[in-house]
Structure 1
Amino acid sequence: MAEVIPFQATRPAPDKVAHVVSRSYDEYRPKERKAVMAYNPFSFLHIIDPGFKFHKEVHGARRFAMVRNRYLEFMEEGILMREKTPSYYLYRTQQDTYTSCGIFCATATDDYRNDVIRKHEETLSYRETLFADYLQTVKFNAEPVLLTYPDQPQLDSLFRDIMKETPEYFFTTTDQVTHQLWVISDPDRIEGIQKGFAKVETLYIADGHHRSASSDLLARRMQQISNPAATGTYGYFMSYLIPQSQLRIRSFSRLLSGVGHQYTDDILIGLDRHFRIHEKGTMPFEPSQKHEFSMYLRGEFYALKLRKHSHSFADPLSALDTQILYQTVLKPLFGVQDLRKDSRIHYICASQNAIKMKKLIDKGTFDIGFGMTPVDVEELKAISDAGLKMPPKSTFIEPKLPSGLTIYDFQNPDL
């Protein structure tokens, strides 16, 4: 059973919340980010980029210390406020036809360490260390880990009842996403949520592998250097828990450069070993089933359907389309050995992947592209349960959560 507990969030004052929350820092183009910060003094981006007010870029430990200063300034100025009692935070987001609902809570690093919270991606040690250093200095975390769990009717019913009430926050941001948040501090409701999650044996990381790994690294550090009370606070990290039926998973297409010297016929003959190949012409083509891939090469689309006799599935990873593409195409035909380090590989995820792929290849940025259907939740869980790891960029998972909506403060004494 996973430990899922309420916490005292730091969060925006209700009259400023629409101005405070931001997308993840890296989602902004530089010009857009500068424009937001120039005209919105309440944006959480001012905390993340503290050198902006001095018109100077700052890095490393110096930047981390300034992030902490800017966070405290937002608290002192009443832009951010601290919750008075430990609470859960029910959050509903809607964009176009996609709606999702889950809760912000604190989850235990022990559960991460003991595989109660399961992973499906590799992490890079330097990124774990960098983010742990950051958290240790700034003493708060504003970006939750996205976790998913099997649907629980008892929890769904409780959440529907709560959503009949007036939310604490109800606003729409300029990216046309509508946000609603309910603060759950009533002891009976807290008990009801805890009873609901007592039936959940395993949580799965959907997004945030480096954030969870860094939190665990920080907790282990604090066990060595801090007193037990401080260590207890660091033994948790902020998560957003969502039923698996409400996840939306999209696929990344793979684009490859540096293959211009290879003849089209040679590539097709190489593919024939593992695939039935169908010409699709010049119109953008998207695959529609598992083990089917699209390929765009020199003005033509092709459908590649895996031959049943050519590939055996020894485990859940070997049946994953991103792994099949790597093992049967990228590695043997184009010499891609390490997907994380090969500079010829580029990934795109767009509403119309085939159209964007065609544009990039037609203008010569890349030589060849491959598309596939999205990974589904059951594949993600099977790979996590088996202790296996997906190739990089196997999933683009939504919802993408805003920064600064709820903040987990490691110095909160009442957790």
Structure 2
Amino acid sequence: MPLIIPFAGLRPRADHAEAVAAPPYDVLSAEEARAMVAGRPASFLHISRAEVDLPAGTDPYSDAVYARARDNLERLRTEGILIQDPAPQYYVYRLEVEGHRQTGLVAAASVEAYRDGRIRRHELTRPAKEQDRVRQIAALDAQTGPVFLVYRAAPQIDARLGALCNEPPVIDITAGDGVRHQLWPVADAEAIAALTADFDALGRLYIADGHHRAAAAARVADERRKAKSAGTSSHGASHGASPDAQAPRPSEHFLAVLFPHDQLRILPYNRVVSDLNGFNPEAFLARIAENYQVEPSAKPVAPKARGEVGLYLGGQWHRLQLRVDLIPADDPIGRLDVSLLHDQLIAPLLQISDPRRDERIDFVGGVRGLSGLSARVDSGEMAAAFALPATRMEDLLAVADAGAMMPPKSTWFEPKLADGLVTHLLD
């Protein structure tokens, strides 16, 4: 099974693309999503966050939300705002913002490759969030949020994608956050075959973001395969097999966008904590100084070096630098900055052993800036904030190659992909 195949995407008509495109469903709060859809009946948030059309306080995991999402998808199709391409194809997708550009490919990625490790993970999933995506896919009979995949940069692929961008794009919009999104369909059979072969020759892809969407797609594929097998065993022999009986069903693939690793921009994923575990600020700093060099800073600290941390505590920034002998050289997990902070400070001093479940810790994407950290401490909501260096792409690939899992909230990729530009319809 090839790593990727083309598919007949459902996408907005060019004159509706700006009205449809929306941020990913999981980067907005319910309040932010409701504000964003005001006066925008075609926004894809009516599908990805359908609770915006139900009373405030509606459980986002209720049956009514998934039913409304399906109704809204059908409405946009009936109104001709979303149309399906007549034949399978790829789509070149480019994002630009503030001088940064990344060019990738929208494709259907193989669930089989995900299962056998040719599409590699680096994070664990949370059951409730994964189940939400399973129900969303089942309700819509579609995958609407792409899984963000990375491949080790290959000049031949980059050149081929660049050449496909020479014609005017069918979609060219700039979102409210200043990110430009462009899309070029690739319908030429030779170009499709070449891209399929080029990516298959890589042998391996990596999930950058979208672990829950990939895991949910695999579960839906399993459920549909079992249902098909049960139906075939009961009825198939008497009716005969169709010529396409062995062809993979759409549910055996998931919606994905693939980018080369050297074009991506990772921002820090910072931490805030609600208390100091009984320490006063002076005692807390004294304990930190046992393993870190601690220096007050007159300016906000944006760390860059491995083991460096910015601490905001009591209205004051501090620069922390971990002792070199505490940074493992050959442990792909242990040397991550998120691991170093957890292992050397958060777990032993604050007694937060499971950051996935402990409500005393929260995570702040680097797009919020250092002011997003200090504001939460100054408001009294949090006791301290920790600014981290961004996870290095080489570290992410090393963790995935080792078959290991990163700590939660290790990476924040920016710019974010838009939801709604291409949807993958299932059976």
Q: Which moved more, 1:160-169 or 1:222-231?
A: 222-231
1:323 maps to what in 2?
Answer: 339
Q: Does 1:12 align with 2:28?
A: no
Q: Structure 1 CA distance, aligned partners of 2:20 and 2:275?
A: 44
Q: Distance in 1 between matches of 2:68 and 2:368?
A: 40
Partner of 1:34: 34
| Structure 1 pair 176–99 and aligned structure 2 pair: CA distance change class (3 A) | same
C-alpha separation between the residues in 1 aligned to 2:38 and 2:367? 30
| TM-score scaled by length of structure 1 | 0.92
Instruction: Determine helix, strand or coil for the equivalent of 2:105.
Output: strand
Would the aligned equivalents of 1:353 and 1:371 in 2 still touch at CA under 8 Å? no
Q: Partners of 1:87 and 1:103 in 2: how far apart?
A: 11
Aligned to 1:400: 416
CA contact (8 A) 1:274 1:311 kept: no
Asked if 1:216 corresponds to 2:218, the answer is yes
Gaps of 5+ in 2: 230-244
Tell me the amino acid that sits aligned with residue 214 of structure 1.
A
Q: Which residue of 1 aligns with 2:166?
A: 164
Task: State how far apart, in whole Å, the 2-side matches of 1:197 and 1:37 are.
Answer: 37
CA change 1:351–1:142 in 2 (3 A) is closer
RMSD, matched Cα = 2.2
* 2:40 counterpart letter in structure 1: N
Which residue is 1:310 aligned to? Answer: 326
Partner of 1:294: 310
Match of residue 138 from structure 1: 140
Quick one: structure 1 residues 340 and 52, their matched pair in 2 at CA, closer, same or farther if it must change by over 3 Å?
A: closer
Residue 358 of structure 2 corresponds to residue 336 of structure 1: no
What does residue range 5-404 of structure 1 map to in structure 2 within 5 Å? 5-28=5-28, 30=30, 33-50=33-50, 57=58, 60-226=62-228, 232-259=249-276, 261-280=278-297, 282-313=298-329, 315-351=331-367, 353-404=369-420
- C-alpha change, 1:309 and 1:25, in structure 2 (3 Å) is closer
- The separation in 2 between residues aligned to 1:338 and 1:231, in whole angstroms, is 40
What CA distance in whole angstroms lies between the structure 2 residues aligned with 1:35 and 1:272?
45
Question: 1:36 and 1:122, CA in 2 relative to 1: closer, same or farther beyond 3 A?
Answer: closer
Tell me the SS of whatever aligns to 1:16: helix
SS at match of 1:199: helix
Whole-angstrom distance in 1 between the partners of 2:127 and 2:303: 35
Identical amino acids, percent of aligned pairs:
30
SS of 2:96's equivalent in the other structure is strand
Q: In the aligned structure 1, how far is the partner of 2:139 from the partner of 2:301?
A: 49
Q: Which runs of 5+ in 1 are unaligned?
A: none
CA offsets 1:268-322 (integer angstroms, 9 cap, x no match): 3322332222232x42122221111121222332222121223444520011111
2:9–2:84 CA contact under 8 A, matched in 1: yes
**What TM-score results when the alignment is normalised by the length of structure 2?**
0.89
Q: CA offsets per residue over residues 153-176 of structure 1, 9 Å max, x none?
A: 111111121111111112222332
CA contact (8 A) 2:311 2:387 kept: yes
Task: Tell me, in whole angstroms, the C-alpha distance in 2 between the residues paired with 1:269 and 1:225.
Answer: 61
The one-letter code of the counterpart of 2:359 is S
- Report the number of matched residues: 410
